[in-house]
Amino acid sequence: MSVDQFLTDFKPGEETTEETLSELSGIPSSDALSRSWLGWTDDEVLDLQTKLSDLVEEDSSVEFECVFKAGMSHNDARVRTVAVHALAETSDTTVVSRVLDLLTDDEDLDVRVAAATAMGSFVALASEGKFSERIRERMFSALESILIKGDTPSELWRRSLEAAGAFCDTRVNRYIDRAKESEAPEFRRSVLVAMARTSDPRWLDHVTSELENDDSSVRFEAVNALGEIGDEPDAFYLEEPMDDQDLMVQLAAVAAAEKIAGPSAKQLLHIAGESPEPSVSKAAVDALANIENEDKLVQTVTPEMASEGMFGTSMGTPSAENVPYDAANREGWSHVDEEGVPFHAADNFREEDDDPLASLMDYEAAPGQFEDDD
């Protein structure tokens, strides 16, 4: 984790190792690196940013956020574009603010398109509460200012629509309605992406109609959208996509069936598991296993289960030889009371316990409680 060591080992424009690139992982400041860029060509800086971006895709243990932040301010638009793409998953509000600036003000169209694409991820994070309402509204305003204009370049408008769909806001519906009248495949794809991100079943009729589109790329996005907004009864729509002539559509259908789940989806996945396409059959088998695992996790702790103790075995009648220690009740992390009524763990701390963990420290086992049976 040393910029100095990196600058010693790295030769701009030449082949380098992952080990050398990894020296930049987690650096606290890019000042020294940015100063060194002054002696590099734009192509050499672009080469470094691209290599770092590719490495992040391959190895999730490394992070070069500090380097990409510096890249967003580089004079070369290609460097800014790569940097914005690489930062699309960040939850750093300073990065989001900078990307918003690039979206609305950058002079290069590719940079603005990259910023609009990144907004799709940022909006999704905002819906999870990762950003403040102020940032969320700023994102919406920036995207709507692009969508409302009649002279916005096509790709920028489409990427902005896709990103805005993630707001799940009815104000976006009019732009989706406008775009779905287009016959251009690229617009039809973007409409489906936006519909998928709204998770709104109101678009189901349009989505299912696009499953018959002559363009396989449109069918692909329609299947993806069905996986996001479809419910269990809609799984039958995936029957034909499972046997589509395009392999990517088949794989998308498998993924959609996994998301929808339910008996009908499982039946389709069992059939897909016998597909002559190895990638499809493997994906179907994996999807079925994932659904099975999810089903196992969906378990409800009933009052009857709780009365049997943590591990489902009754403690029996307390005696001098068997004194149960009710840690859940004592320490305040149980989930149901004696009446079977759920409550928050914090509500169960005893007022006399200054330190909720002290009772564990003070606990003395009953005679013979932890002695071997023999």
CA 106 to chain centre: 27
- pLDDT for residue 123: 93
Share of the chain above pLDDT 90, in %: 69
Whole-angstrom distance, CA of residue 54 vs CA of residue 77: 18
In a domain, 322, yes or no: no
* Per-residue confidence band for 348, with pLDDT thresholds at 50, 70 and 90: very low
* Number of compact structural domains in the chain: 3
Give the integer Cα–Cα distance in Å for 36 and 26. Answer: 18
pLDDT value, residue 330: 46
Q: Which of 262, 282, 298 is the last residue of a domain?
A: 298
Q: What is the pLDDT of residues 17-34, one digit of tens each?
A: 999 999 999 999 999 999
Residue 51 has pLDDT above 70, yes or no: yes
Confidence of residue 350 (pLDDT cuts 50, 70, 90): very low
Same-domain pairing of 67 and 123: no
Mean pLDDT of 96-104: 96
Has residue 294 been placed in a domain? Answer: yes
Residue 308 lies in a domain: no
C-beta atoms surrounding 68 within 10 Å = 25
Largest CA distance in the chain: 86
DSSP string of 347-369?
Answer: GG--TT-SSTTHHHHH--PPTTT
| Residue 10 within a domain | yes
Residues 226 and 268 in one domain: yes
Q: According to the model, what pLDDT value does residue 125 have?
A: 92
Rounded Cα distance, 202 and 71, in Å: 41
What distances in angstroms separate CA 19 from CA 27, 62, 235, 268, one per listed residue? 15, 11, 47, 45
**Are 192 and 97 within one domain?**
yes
User: What does the alpha-carbon distance between residue 81 and residue 71 come to, in Å, rounded to a whole number?
Assistant: 9
Asked if residue 180 and residue 95 are part of one domain, the reply reads yes
Is residue 336 a part of any domain in this protein? no
Same domain membership, residue 78 and residue 115: no
Shared domain for 184 and 127, answered yes or no, is yes
Answer for the pair 100, 115: CB distance below 8 angstroms, yes or no: yes
pLDDT bracket for residue 245 (50, 70, 90): very high
Angle at 306 between CA 302 and CA 307, to 5 degrees: 115
- Closest by CA position to 79, among listed 51, 103, 46: 46
How high is the pLDDT of residue 157? 97
211 & 289 share domain: yes
Whether 193 has a pLDDT exceeding 90, the answer reads yes
**Which residue would you say has higher pLDDT here, 149 or 305?**
149
On average, the pLDDT of the chain sits at 85
**Last residue within a domain, chosen from 144, 168, 198:** 198
How many whole angstroms separate alpha carbon 132 and alpha carbon 261? 34
For position 315, what pLDDT does the model report?
44
Q: What is the gyration radius of the CA atoms in the chain, in angstroms? A: 28
What's the confidence (pLDDT) of residue 63? Answer: 94
Same domain flag for 77 and 129: no
In a domain, 138, yes or no: yes
Cβ–Cβ under 8 Å, residues 123 and 164: yes
Last residue of a domain, one of 165, 198, 231: 198
Candidate from 68-77, 150-159, 226-235, 295-304 with smallest mean pLDDT: 295-304
Query: What pLDDT digit, counting tens, does each position of 108-144 carry?
Result: 999 999 999 999 999 999 988 899 999 999 999 999 9
83 and 98 together in one domain: no
pLDDT reported for residue 307: 56
Tokens matching residue 141: 């305003």
CATH number (domain holding residue 118): 1.25.10.10
Both 104 and 80 in one domain: the answer is no
Q: What is the pTM of this model?
A: 0.76
230 or 324: whose pLDDT is higher? 230
Average pLDDT over residues 335-355: 50
**Confidence band of 14 (pLDDT split at 50, 70, 90):** confident
| Mean pLDDT in residue range 192-213 | 96
Which pLDDT score is estimated for 340? 54
Q: What is the mean pLDDT of residues 329-349?
A: 50
Same domain for 57 and 122: no
The alpha-helical segments, DSSP class H, found in the chain are 3-9, 18-21, 31-37, 42-58, 65-71, 77-86, 93-105, 109-127, 133-147, 154-165, 173-179, 185-198, 204-209, 216-229, 247-260, 262-272, 278-297, 303-307, 327-331, 358-362
Q: How far apart are CA 177 and CA 234, in angstroms?
A: 22
* Position 303 pLDDT exceeds 70: no
Task: With respect to residue 130, please indicate whether it lies within any of the assigned structural domains.
Answer: yes
Asked if residue 326 is part of any domain, the answer here is: no
Task: Identify the domain containing residue 99 by its residue range.
Answer: 91-198
Kindly state whether residues 186 and 215 are assigned to the same domain: no
d(CA 354, CA 191): 57
